[in-house]
Amino acid sequence: MSTTAVPPVPTAGTRRPDPSNPAPRVLSRLAGAALPIGVAAFVGGILTSPLATGDDRADYLEALGRDPALTELSAVLLHYGNLLLGVGVLALPLLVRGRRGWLPTLIGALLSALGLLATSGALFTDWFHMEMARELPIDQAVMISERVLSAPLQQLCFGLDPLLMLGLPVVVFGLCRAGVLGWWSLAAVVAGTALLPFSPADSNLVPALAFALIQLPLAVAGLRMVTRARSAA
């Protein structure tokens, strides 16, 4: 006596993934591509940053006002570099398969994204500083700048660099634990961070190299996200 297998009937609460929906793959590709592009833009912004002759705020403002075209180019590159990195890093937890490394990747991605997106908005002040240095006496420009940047709520909005300094090593550590990246990537973050204090005042090459090392794991992770999305297609 033969029996006929009857396939189970999906209940109302059961949803099957729709393979014809390309949105997840497209979003993964876009987020993955945003990371290496963001790294390139950020490093370009560091390379084109106006060089200050000293370490105080007056020298910084004078540097911004000395060459407006260079100041604007650097600000645009840094703005979009931070913006693209902040958007792309939010998708990094999707690279983790399994439970190993998922929590530090998630926490690090959220902290890094918040710090990067806040920093992208802070670049708006470069235009104000540039015009103040050109139109006002330098002591008055310094007074206004210090008064604005020391406001507590301004720091709450745009002074979130500590989150990025914490979040980036954590997210890279999580990706290493998950096997997405090799441990060399965490070493690159540490090496770049250690290199930053040795940046000379007369060149942007050392800080550009340092940030390239720090952000290199993000670029590699982004390329792997694009590769996975293509394979899934």
Q: Tell me how far CA of residue 42 lies from CA of 73, 213, 226, in angstroms.
A: 11, 12, 20
Give the separation between CA 178 and CA 119, rounded to whole angstroms.
28
Q: What is the pLDDT along the chain (233 residues), one digit of tens a residue?
A: 455 555 555 555 445 545 667 888 888 899 999 999 999 999 999 999 998 877 788 888 999 999 999 999 999 999 999 999 999 999 999 999 989 999 999 999 999 999 999 999 888 889 989 999 899 899 999 999 888 888 888 888 888 888 889 999 999 999 999 999 999 999 999 999 999 999 888 889 999 999 999 999 999 999 999 998 888 76
- Both tokens of 66, joined, read 């000395």
Q: Hey, how many other C-beta atoms are within 10 angstroms of the C-beta on 8?
A: 7
Among the listed residues 185, 161, 163, 162, the one whose alpha carbon sits nearest the alpha carbon of residue 173: 185
What's the pTM?
0.87
